[in-house]
């Protein structure tokens, strides 16, 4: 039977016993702190049990036996992100695209319960410092972008949903092996003289075979709210440090519910697996060069997990376009989109042209 847990993603609902204010999770620790009276509340550590979910059984049973939780989220009409919200706030901006949100339009739904998570190690101050350092290093950034980096409350801590997949694969392939060899070739050089040179040629032969690959924790972001090419650049994650899902770790942070289904996630996981499979095929073919003409992969023993990973996020609008900045909440890796100041680029181009023109003038005048 489905397990329905009512506690699901709610932001900041853990109350301080001393003053009644909301407690927040302190990154890099295992405790909740009160921002008003300073009280520290340790979170009871639980033994982390990692249980993989059988993919085919999950699909066949339509998740009837899966544990679910009830979450209260608000959906952004602009970017589609579905995140938790503070029920005391009636209006805010989307953390993913900076669009206006009205909390009264929130909804309650059931989702597959996260099994595991990584908590924040990088705190807000460290995140802001990393953000400012990143902005200072980028060339031709608009001045107001740097001003924006120093604004308060622009960096938000968000838990992003991910799927991880395990699988043992068997791939039958057909291809070609190329072996290099050298031959002596006569030619006429620049002086019109006959000469000999060594030329490398390749002999191709057909090959076919079978390769086996084992995949563990292939990571797929279960969100379409952020540009994936930047999200994946936040890797690697220290997944060996995963801990059991605990509502208290979310206190003071937001969490996005997944927008990519388990099936859609596995399709993306298969694409990620292809690089390793192709590497195995080329190794099996051998030789100096390889061509893969066709391949057929069977995926066995497929399992998956639903996990949450921490990022610091900031969305910035410049000239009506949204730019996102992301920081790995564990390692401090920074990735993001950036606008360009075309005024600065134009001025730099004009300055470069003027310098080149001055050099040409001086060479012509004094070069002789």
Task: Indicate whether 277 pLDDT > 90.
Answer: yes
What is the structure's pLDDT at 3?
47
Tokens for 145, please give them: 């972008």
pLDDT tier for residue 227 given thresholds of 50, 70 and 90? confident
* Range among 7-21, 29-43, 284-298, 304-318 with highest mean pLDDT value: 284-298
39-85 pLDDT, tens digit per residue, is 777 777 777 778 899 999 988 886 566 677 777 777 777 777 777 76
Contact between residue 13 and residue 71 where contact means Cβ atoms under 8 Å apart? no
172-216 pLDDT, tens digit per residue, is 999 999 999 999 988 888 888 888 889 999 999 999 999 999 999
pLDDT tier for residue 134 given thresholds of 50, 70 and 90? confident
Long-range contacts of 347-354 (CB under 8 A, 24+ apart): 348/140
Residue found by looking up tokens 């040409």 in the block: 360
Q: Output 167 or 63, whichever has higher pLDDT.
A: 167
Q: Identify any residues that bridge with 107 across adjacent strands, giving them in sequence order.
A: 73
Query: With the C-alpha atoms ordered 252, 258, 262, 266, is the resulting torsion angle positive or negative?
Result: negative
- Report the predicted TM-score, pTM, of the whole model to 2 decimal places: 0.80
Task: Indicate whether 298 pLDDT > 70.
Answer: yes
307-355 pLDDT, tens digit per residue, is 999 999 888 776 777 778 889 999 999 987 765 555 555 655 666 677 7
What is the structure's pLDDT at 74?
77
Nearest partner of 270 among 228, 213, 309, judged by Cα? 213
């Amino acid at each position: 039977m489905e397990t329905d847990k009512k506690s699901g993603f709610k932001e900041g609902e853990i109350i301080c016993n001393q003053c009644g204010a909301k407690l927040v999770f302190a990154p890099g620790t295992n405790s909740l702190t009160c921002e008003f009276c300073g009280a520290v509340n340790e979170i009871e550590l639980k033994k982390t049990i990692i249980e993989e979910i059988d993919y085919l059984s999950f699909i066949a049973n339509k998740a009837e036996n899966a544990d679910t939780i009830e979450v209260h989220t608000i959906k952004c009409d602009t970017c589609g992100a579905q995140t938790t919200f503070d029920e005391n706030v009636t209006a805010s901006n989307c953390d993913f695209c900076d669009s206006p949100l009205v909390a009264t339009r929130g909804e309650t739904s059931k989702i597959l319960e996260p099994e595991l998570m990584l908590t924040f190690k990088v705190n807000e101050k460290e995140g802001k410092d990393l953000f400012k350092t990143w902005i200072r290093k980028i060339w031709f950034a608009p001045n107001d972008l740097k001003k924006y980096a120093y604004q308060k409350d622009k960096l938000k801590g968000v838990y992003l949903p991910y799927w991880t997949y395990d699988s043992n694969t068997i791939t039958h392939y057909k291809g070609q092996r190329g072996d290099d060899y050298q031959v002596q070739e006569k030619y006429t050089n620049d002086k019109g003289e006959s000469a000999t040179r060594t030329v490398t040629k390749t002999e191709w032969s057909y090959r076919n075979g079978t390769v086996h690959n084992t995949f563990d924790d292939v990571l797929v972001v279960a969100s379409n709210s952020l540009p994936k090419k930047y999200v994946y650049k936040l890797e690697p994650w220290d997944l060996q440090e995963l801990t059991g899902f605990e509502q208290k770790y979310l206190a003071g942070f937001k969490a996005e519910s997944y927008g990519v289904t388990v099936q859609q996630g596995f399709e993306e996981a298969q694409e990620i697996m292809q690089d390793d499979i192709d590497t195995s095929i080329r190794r099996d073919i051998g030789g100096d060069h390889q061509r893969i003409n066709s391949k057929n992969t069977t995926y066995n023993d497929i399992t998956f997990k639903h996990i949450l990973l921490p990022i610091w996020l900031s969305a910035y609008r410049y000239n009506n376009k949204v730019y996102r900045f992301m920081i790995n909440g564990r390692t401090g890796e920074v990735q993001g989109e950036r606008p360009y100041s075309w005024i600065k680029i134009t001025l730099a181009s004009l300055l470069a042209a003027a310098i080149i023109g001055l050099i040409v003038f001086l060479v012509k005048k004094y070069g002789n």
